[in-house]
Amino acid sequence: MYQAELTGVLGTPVAENPTGVMQEAAFAALGLNWRYLTIEVQPEDLGKAMDGVRAMGFQGLNLTIPHKVAVIPFLDKLSREAELIGAVNTVRREGKLLIGENTDGRGFLRGLREDAGVDPRGLNAVLMGAGGAARAIATELILAGLEQLTVVNRSVDRGQKLVEELVEKTGARVRFVEWPSPCLEIGPEVNLLVNATSVGLYPNVEAMPAVELRGASKDIVVCDAVFNPAETMLLRLARAYGLKTLDGLSMLVFQGVIGFEIWTGKAAPEKVMKAALLKEMT
């Protein structure tokens, strides 16, 4: 009975990754003899690390920067979402097979539904950013039945490439807009605004994406993927206008919740996980 089931995260740098705190709290709350290991792995060692994951029978794994795309050749199968997004942040075991999933966008979506009480079906959304988080969020919003998506990004190439891929793979109504100068003005037709850039991320906590909310609908929901700090300048501004907001902690907690459920097959203790994360981050 001393042998534990193993899960963990591979990345570099990974020391500051808070997911283990959430997962360990959840395992303890359910009395499971499971462990979550936070493991530093250099890019050139990823293949050997994945061999180790197989050899040691890990039940589940998270991948973070810079391994989310590089891990794909070391897996046996991808979920539809991971394939659409082109990146994997969670691996589950099916017998001897390792299956790649992506729970970042699903975590965002679950937070949108459960924390903000919003269903994206039929909505008109503006997404700032075209990196990994934006890819995952855009894909899940489209799969959830969004009416229209506008991707706004600083570098044109990256933004256009994301939009082309989304249109090709999903057939959804998605368009690209280069970030306007001096700022992006949000009009009353927008129902959902999501910051998936890294602007505002610690230590640059005074930075804010160049966006004007004065003309926004009173019913808009303003979301930030940045979770450190939880209250970003963007969310502070939105609240000052009396607008509904959703912070990046929600997405972080729910991607962990989904990972826990995929690995253990049990309902995750969401409140325990969120409390553990909040305690760690304050």
Stretch near ligand NDP under the rule CB under 6 A, chosen from 151-159, 164-172, 180-188, 268-276: 151-159
Q: Is 279 among the residues known to form the active site? A: no
Judged by CB under 6 A, which of 9, 88, 133, 193 binds ligand NDP?
Answer: 133
Question: In the complex, what is the shortest distance from the CB of residue 239 to ligand NDP, in angstroms, rounded to a whole number?
Answer: 18
Please check whether residue 87 is in contact with residue 115, taking contact to mean a CB–CB distance below 8 angstroms: no
Judged by CB under 6 A, which of 101, 104, 115, 140 binds ligand NDP?
Answer: 104
Judged by CB under 6 A, which of 134, 142, 233, 277 binds ligand NDP?
Answer: 134
Alpha helices in the chain (DSSP H): 19-29, 46-55, 80-85, 104-114, 132-143, 156-170, 233-240, 248-264, 270-281
Instruction: Give the CB-nearest residue to ligand NDP.
Output: 131
Tell me the per-residue interface mask from 62 to 101 with ligand NDP, x by CB under 6 A, - otherwise. ----------------------------------------
| Closer Cβ to ligand NDP, 134 or 233, answer by number | 134
* Residue 161 sits in the site that holds ligand NDP (CB under 6 A): no
Query: Do you find a cis peptide bond into 120, omega within 30 degrees of 0?
Result: no
Judged by CB under 6 A, which of 29, 143, 201, 272 binds ligand NDP?
Answer: 201
Stretch near ligand NDP under the rule CB under 6 A, chosen from 35-43, 74-82, 141-149, 251-259: 251-259
Exactly one of 48, 68, 169, 244 is catalytic; name it.
68
Please check whether residue 47 is in contact with residue 72, taking contact to mean a CB–CB distance below 8 angstroms: no
* Residue 263 sits in the site that holds ligand NDP (CB under 6 A): no
State in Å, rounded, how far the first CA of the chain is from the last one.
35
Q: Residue 150 is which amino acid?
A: T
Please check whether residue 173 is in contact with residue 199, taking contact to mean a CB–CB distance below 8 angstroms: no
Give contact residues for ligand NDP (rule: CB under 6 A). Answer: 104, 107, 129-134, 153-155, 158, 196-199, 201, 225-227, 248, 251-252, 255
